[in-house]
Amino acid sequence: MRTGKLSKHVALALVMSVALGLTGAAKAEAQETRIAAVNSDRILRESAAAKAAQTKLEREFSKRDKALQDMAAGLKTLSDAMDKNGAGMAPADRAAKQRELSQADQDFQRKQREFREDLNQRRNEELAAVLDKANKVIKQIAEAQHYDLIVQEAVYVSPRIDITDQVLKALAANQASLSANPASSSN
């Protein structure tokens, strides 16, 4: 019975080959199709270019982040003073302090929102640049190693066809050469 099932599978495969018009040469050509996959998330987390972009963003936004932290501490001090001394204040003074606290809080919220929006915009710009560099490296690898298809987003990728490590190494080599020759880093 087992050989009967096997024969049915072999027969089905032959029928499919004939139905698809795959001759011996076409079958060999179809088997030579080279496919690979790259994990973009790993590129954005682990690549030297992504780490350099993260460091650049931290440097660029550190002063504003510190100013926001200081502003938050000042708000907390005002709020604590209001809680501690508010009961003993004249109603007009208490209302003025509450308005001052409310205005400071609104200002803080606005600055914090602007900070997040600016940071997200810059992060997206930097990540797009990293992905652009990665895509150039992936294309170079595809051409050099004769890949027919390289996918970046997939539900499942066999480790056998995953070339993410190779892309990370090539990106690191490119980053090192850009660091060694800053004049060529105008990309």
Residue 135 corresponds to which tokens in the numbers above?
């895509």
Q: What is the pLDDT of residue 14?
A: 45
pLDDT at 11 over 50: no
64-92 residue pLDDT tens: 999 999 999 999 998 888 888 877 778 88
Total length of the chain: 187
The topology under which CATH files domain 33-182 is: Protein Binding, DinI Protein; Chain A (3.30.910)
Q: Where in the chain is the domain with CATH 3.30.910.20?
A: 33-182
Reported pTM: 0.67
pLDDT at 185 over 50: no
Cα separation, 51 vs 181, in Å, equals: 19
106-118 residue pLDDT tens: 999 999 999 999 9
Do 64 and 126 contact (CB within 8 A), yes or no?
A: no
Question: Which range, of 26-30, 91-95, 119-123, 152-156, averages the lowest pLDDT?
Answer: 26-30
* CA 179 vs CA 52, 112, 122, 186: distances in Å: 11, 34, 21, 12
